[in-house]
Amino acid sequence: MIKPVPTIKLLSMSFILSISISCSDNQAPSVRDFEQKASLQIKLLATSLKKQLIASMQLGGPVAAIETCKIKAPEITNHLNSSDTLKIKRTSLRLRNPNNSADDWEQQVLTNFEQQFSSGTPIQELVYSEKITKGDQTTLRMMRAIPMQAVCLTCHGDRQTMSEGVIHSLQKDYPNDLATEFSIGDIRGAFSVSQTFSN
């Protein structure tokens, strides 16, 4: 005769099963899988920001585009972050917006990027990722350097050649701006992506 399984046992079994299923769902992927996902997210943010920038420069000129950058860049970034546990941001060693400040890990990676860059590594190769386990949490992190391009000079270039309107507008919105005096090809900053998992 088959002995009926007590309900409580069934319940605890399904509980254990559901925990293990949700755990395996949330387990940290390999660094390589994370890098692939992070790279796609970086591409998405980079393309959206550039599209927005060019459109608003063409429509209203650089001063209007500053306003767009100020409002739209954080908005687009927050929008991408709201639908995913993967978080993306932009940061730099020479900041314009203090909300984009680098944490200790990001500062270290940016400093290493600068060192590698000055010893000849092409900027496109400046990518770094790491898996960091602390207590019961694993965080996967990746950074990719952002190169200065010609279009960026309008607002991040040599102050001598920047328009009065742009300088005035930046001064008003970002009184502690450190993000000028860059040249084409310099490291303007980096995209930084992270995702945290419970072990």
155 binds ligand HEC (CB under 6 A): yes
Task: Find tokens 């932009």 and name the residue.
Answer: 90
109 binds ligand HEC (CB under 6 A): no
192 binds ligand HEC (CB under 6 A): no
149 binds ligand HEC (CB under 6 A): yes
Task: Find tokens 């898996």 and name the residue.
Answer: 131
193 binds ligand HEC (CB under 6 A): no
Nearer to ligand HEC, 68 or 131 (CB): 68
141 binds ligand HEC (CB under 6 A): no
Query: Residues of 152-168 as b/e, b for ≥16 C-beta within 10 angstroms?
Result: bbbbbbeeeebeeebee
CB of 142 to ligand HEC, least distance (A): 16
Q: Please state, in angstroms and rounded to a whole number, the distance separating the CA atoms of residues 34 and 140.
A: 7
How many other CB atoms are there within 10 angstroms of residue 56's CB atom?
18
Q: Which of 28, 38, 42, 97 contacts ligand HEC by CB under 6 A?
A: 97
156 binds ligand HEC (CB under 6 A): yes
Q: Per this entry, what is the length of the chain?
A: 199
169 binds ligand HEC (CB under 6 A): no
61 binds ligand HEC (CB under 6 A): no
92 binds ligand HEC (CB under 6 A): yes
Q: Please state, in angstroms and rounded to a whole number, the distance separating the CA atoms of residues 196 and 87.
A: 9
How many other CB atoms are there within 10 angstroms of residue 143's CB atom?
27
Give the pair of three-digit tokens for residue 76: 């687009």
Contact positions vs ligand HEC (CB under 6 A): 50, 53, 62, 65-66, 69-70, 73-74, 90-92, 95-97, 100, 146, 149, 151-152, 154-156, 179, 188-189
